[in-house]
Amino acid sequence: PAEIVVVSAGLFGPATPLGEVGQGLREETLSGVDQVALPPLLRQTDEVPAELCRSFGLIYAETGASAGALTIRITHPPLRRPDGATGSVDLFDAPATPGLHFVGFTFDERWELAPGRWTFTILAGDQVLASHGFTVFPASGGALGCGSSVS
């Protein structure tokens, strides 16, 4: 069975491509990037300011084998999209492969800036393999713009 260990959690910088698509190399990838490096950890913390372009999440180590894909569940305060749709749970599949993996969230839109408890859970079927929570709080002094560094 797969075993998951959270290696680090907190605020992260942007991931950078390790290798762009070359002649005939990985042409089937939609992004044109062969691999993506793990994003750099800027600060180990469970406290996250609600600021545009702020990325947070965790890096986890997976060992063993899992029967099928893992599911990542992010629960958060209710978010209301501009079209009126609301939700408090995001689900997506993740590969069940040994190694280090990143799961995170970036505040790209103002409507995503929701203070409260955000929890990242990694599941194999209905079995919780790991879970980590963050407290998102209103940013003081206004939101940083994209490209700003963590102080």
With respect to residue 19, please indicate whether it lies within any of the assigned structural domains: no
Q: How many domains does the chain have?
A: 1
What integer best gives the mean pLDDT of the chain? 82
Q: Which residues pair with 36 in a beta bridge?
A: 17
With respect to residue 29, please indicate whether it lies within any of the assigned structural domains: no
Domain range for 90 is 3-13+35-138
With respect to residue 113, please indicate whether it lies within any of the assigned structural domains: yes
- From CA 119, how far away is CA 69, in angstroms rounded? 20
Q: What is the pLDDT of residues 88-99, one digit of tens each?
A: 999 999 888 888
Q: Is the pLDDT of residue 68 over 70?
A: yes
What three-state secondary structure class fits 107?
Answer: coil
* Residue 14 in tokens: 């942007």
What's the average model confidence in pLDDT over 11-15?
Answer: 87
Edge to edge, the sheet with strand 86-94 lists 47-50, 127-138, 116-124, 70-80, 86-94
CB-side neighbour CA atoms (13 Å) of 8: 14
CATH (domain of 83): 2.60.40.2390
